[in-house]
Amino acid sequence: EPEVTQTPSHQVTQMGQEVILRCVPISNHLYFYWYRQILGQKVEFLVSFYNNEISEKSEIFDDQFSVERPDGSNFTLKIRSTKLEDSAMYFCASRTGLAGYNEQFFGPGTRLTVL
């Protein structure tokens, strides 16, 4: 069964450093998403991406964040200058383009630790 994959599974970085989290969505999917979950808190939507541009973003997704689909398979989230509060689990998700069908498939997540 096709699945969303994410790398790395765990990333440790120093405050102020740039990080890139990588995702490979399911191959025929058209919508791509990033979510985050701070430890012990709820899953929060960050951004959605469709047709090579951002469709929707939350208040969390400020100028420090960017997304890119550099080729036909990868979808990346970049944090330009990490802060301690960026420590969280980051989930990538994707879904088909079927109208009215919002079954999102989530990856296993990348745990980001900012020291």
Partner 1 sequence: DAKTTQPTSMDCAEGRAANLPCNHSTISGNEYVYWYRQIHSQGPQYIIHGLKNNETNEMASLIITEDRKSSTLILPHATLRDTAVYYCIVLPSGGGADGLTFGKGTHLIIQP
Among 8, 17, 18, 56, binds partner 1 (CB under 8 A): 56
Query: Which DSSP category does 104 fall into?
Result: P
Kindly tell me the sign of the dihedral angle through the C-alpha atoms of 72, 107, 8, 62: positive
Stretch that binds partner 1, among 14-22, 36-44, 64-72, 76-84 (CB under 8 A): 36-44
Among 19, 25, 33, 114, binds partner 1 (CB under 8 A): 33
Between residue 79 and residue 98, which ones bind partner 1 under the rule CB under 8 A? 89, 91, 93, 98
Counts of helices then strands in the chain (DSSP H, E): 0, 11
Cis peptide before 8 (omega within 30 of 0): yes
- Among residues 54, 39, 50, the alpha carbon closest in space to that of 90 is found at 39
* Least distance (Å) between residue 64 CB and partner 1: 18
Q: Are 78 and 20 in contact (CB under 8 A)?
A: yes
* Least distance (Å) between residue 100 CB and partner 1: 5
Among 19, 21, 36, 46, binds partner 1 (CB under 8 A): 46
Report if residue 110 touches partner 1, rule: CB under 8 A. no
Among 77, 94, 107, 114, binds partner 1 (CB under 8 A): 107
